[in-house]
Amino acid sequence: MPVSDFELIQSWRQVLELSGLQAGQSVALLTAQGTNEQTLRCAIIAVQEKGAIANRLDLQPVNGGTSLSRDPLAFVGTTPLTNNRAAVEMLKASDLVLDLMTLLFSAEQHEILAAGGRILLAVEPPEVLVRMTPTAQDREQVLAASKKLQAAKQMRVTSQAGTDATFALGDYPMLEEYGFVDRPGRWDHWPSGFLATWSNEGSAEGRIVLAPGDILLPQKSYLTAPITCHLEKGFVRAIEGGFEADHLRDYMDSFNDPEVYAVSHIGWGLQKRAHWAVMGFYDREASIGMDPRACAGNFLWSTGPNNEAGGTRDTACHIDIPMRGCTVMLDGVPVVKDGKLVEDAQ
């Protein structure tokens, strides 16, 4: 059901307040052909209410003739900012960038953040943004979980479906998503509410069994049959199953890059206002699937690039795979048990 401009402006007010936007600061609103007009309209009003300066930067699409999907995360790395120095310099000069078009996995994004800029991605439908408007409590929950992950040396994930995989930890930073950008150099995504890191290179080992109901993104599809992924030395070495396994393998092979099979970030969802079923009510082009990515108690793992974490892998294929019913253990201590956050499972 749609939301009113009033509701969405209220949400933007809260996000900008949590992000520390001050009067007189400059805000760049990064847009493209697919930007939601209500989201843009309400963001501009909320920025101006804060006494800040709103500048819209509208960029032309790229990758359309290369990507196999219209989803903005189906082909990453090359963006409308690639070789666009004028645009990059404008964003670097801004106090806050509101990304309403999806700028991810790019050298230019890292350059903006390294210069002290803040980037907040917000591309889900307005009603999803309102339902998962971030709070200070979201931040506290994510950072508390992050302390546990930072201290751990190994993550082990199991499930009744047959998953049993281990990942060595410690070489990469945390991906702490709580929905607002409260310090210089920070990137975040509204809506969100999950925690992840990247396993040490070459350390992912074992077997991940995707069960019916688990989700592939950017395909935005619920699986109807099991898929088994065999991990060895940090890569998915084999994908077994029926048609859906063949479909996944065919998509990944289309990039003609062995790096697409590398294990990328791993973590779990913490957002109780996110719901697994929501994706099924939306057209595939209407959402990028943040509900299943952030849903409390999921195990979220991915394949492909790690350049956003400081690594060198910048392959164009990035697949996020949220799973239900898993147990996630840090050095043998569960933080998720059978698909529920430990504090909820007791």
Identify the band that residue 307 occupies on the pLDDT scale cut at 50, 70 and 90. Answer: confident
pLDDT of residue 345 exceeding 60: no
Confidence check: pLDDT of 78 > 60 = yes
* 67: pLDDT strictly greater than 70: no
The CA-atom distances, in angstroms, between 96 and each of 59, 151, 180, 275 are: 17, 31, 11, 29
Judged by average pLDDT, the poorest of 79-83, 121-125, 150-154, 258-262 is: 79-83
Task: Name residues whose C-beta falls within 8 Å of residue 29's C-beta, 6 or more positions apart in sequence.
Answer: 40, 43, 44, 47, 54, 55, 56, 57, 98, 100
- pLDDT tens per residue, range 256-286: 999 999 999 999 999 999 999 999 999 888 8
pLDDT of 72: 67
> In this predicted model, which residue has the larger pLDDT, 305 or 326?
326
What integer pLDDT is reported at residue 346 of this predicted model?
Answer: 46
Q: How confident is the model at residue 64 (pLDDT cuts 50, 70, 90)?
A: low
* Helix, strand, coil share (%) of the chain residues, nearest 5: 30, 30, 45
Tens-digit pLDDT profile for residues 193-218: 999 999 999 999 999 999 999 999 99
Q: How far, CA to CA in Å, does 335 sit from each of 111, 149, 300, 305, 326?
A: 34, 10, 13, 26, 10
State whether residue 267 is helix, strand or coil: strand
What DSSP letter does each residue of 173-223 carry, written as one string?
A: --EEE-S---STT-EEESS--EEEEEPPTT--EEEEEEPTT-EEBTTTEE-
Phi and psi (nearest 5°) for 223? -70, 145
Burial (CB < 10 A; 0-12, 13-18, 19+), residue 25, is middle
Indicate the average pLDDT of the chain: 94
| Confidence (pTM) | 0.94
d(CA 127, CA 193) in angstroms, rounded, equals 17
CA pair distance 3, 125, nearest whole angstrom: 10
pLDDT at 155 over 50: yes
Higher pLDDT, 79 or 325: 325
- More confident: 103 or 139: 139
- Grade residue 43 by pLDDT with cuts at 50, 70 and 90: very high
Query: What is the set of domains in the chain, with CATH numbers?
Result: 5-131 (3.40.50.980), 136-345 (no CATH)
Using an 8 Å Cβ cutoff, are 62 and 33 in contact?
no
Dihedral sign computed on CA atoms, order 182, 306, 304, 299: negative
User: What's the per-residue H, E or C state across 120-147?
Assistant: EECCCCHHHHHHCCCCHHHHHHHHHHHH
Span 68-97, average pLDDT: 84
**What would the pLDDT profile of 112-125 be if each residue is shown by its tens digit?**
999 999 999 999 99
Q: What is the pLDDT of residue 74?
A: 63
How many Å apart are CA 315 and CA 253, to the nearest integer? 12
Identify whether the C-beta of residue 286 lies closer than 8 Å to the C-beta of residue 125.
Answer: yes
Cα separation, 160 vs 163, whole angstroms: 7
What is the largest distance, in Å, between two alpha-carbon atoms of the chain? 57
Task: Evaluate if residue 75 carries a pLDDT over 80.
Answer: no
